[in-house]
Structure 1
Amino acid sequence: MDTPAIPVDEVPFPAVPIRVFILNDHELVRQGLRELLEEEGLDVAGESGSAAEATRLIALLKPDIAVLDDRLPDGTGIEVCRDLRSTAPHVRCLILTGRDKHHAVRAAVLAGAAGYLLKQIGDNNVLVTGIRTAATGHPVLAPEVRERVAESLSATAGAPWLEAMTTQERTVFAFMARGLTNGQIGQDLVLPEEAVAGCVSSVLEKLGFRLSSRLSPAVIPGSGGWLR
């Protein structure tokens, strides 16, 4: 999986510290991330181990960046990212995952994530650089990866996951691919935002990104990664 190739010293520092929110259901992981980010001069504005709580707190605290774990007991970082497109559109989301899977990257891009990073990478600077890069408004995803995702989304005819969707889900998928928020989709389709959110979750699941809390816990980075 490609990761940002921008050296840390080439990423411009903002005038004020970048405010970051951490979402991870493992307390030790949150502690390790918090210590790392604070050592690097970033401001940890808040943290949570729950998708539902994080969605509420992020909208309230208004951080610059939300670092979201992809697997949580009550949802996923992808779902949180998608919800934030409506409730806190200024927040840029980075998805942390233990899986280098194309369908997961595709789901993150559809959800509007600013970036997608692997947990197992051993260089702490990758996460810090990713946060600083996202804060400048640049995507934290190699161009070739984004191109592959775009190609896969355009070549949808006959795809098994598309055939599995209902007519309404296909319509919502088309709006998602255009970057519309749940609220915007609801306005266009004259549907309650809650109904759109449920349809979005179904679309992401049929794309291959499982959203069930029955998922096994994600891999915690070891001593070579972000827990030092």
Structure 2
Amino acid sequence: MRILVAGSSGGIGKAVVSLLREHGHTVFTVSRAGEVGAAHCIADLTSPESVAQVSQFLNRVLPPKVSLDAVYCCAGILHTGWNMPEKTLVQMSADWLQQSMAVNVLSHVHLAQAIAPLVTRSQPLRWLSLSAMVGSATDNGLGGWYSYRMSKAALNMFVKNLSIEWGRKSPQSVVVAVHPGTTDTLLSQPFQAGIAEGKLYTPEQSAERMVAVMEGLKPAQSGHFLHWDGSVLPF
């Protein structure tokens, strides 16, 4: 299979790439950094210019009239060295909300725009966006984490919309959002102290689960928000 992994330099993305290559798949990667190579595209997916960059990259690495089989978009942000998830309304700022939306939503939008011409009735594609349970409005009983929750909820809506559009032109395509569970990466490190025993997963565990979900996807699941075990989560 020909598979694209975006956000390939992150903890989960890197583990997904490693696992897919172990399985013998042809894997192409996209990230903001890394070594230039035949299978790697350096692009900042928060930027509109990345649409053309990724499109040109795919045109170069894929044979004529050949599409991708699957895409994992693992791009996401929860905190930086100077911005942490907000506990109260007063801590919200326009700059941090905009950055959260850019990384957690626009990066997925721009990647989809670059790939859209490859999706046809004869060449369906499976798409997985890395989302988070905290993006579920139904599941939210704690509040806080305004920017992250809002951006992940927006991502889930984007996935739903994309599933409808691609479903019309390519009925066998599948587009889903997936919650991987709390994974031991830089993203979760500041918050691991309160995690129940057995509920913090290694990047390798999360990668195995995401690949299993992807491999088992059916068109009837398109547009759903899925748990790492494949069960449906509420929006």
TM-score by length of 2: 0.41
TM-score by length of 1: 0.42
Structure with a larger share of its residues in helix: 1
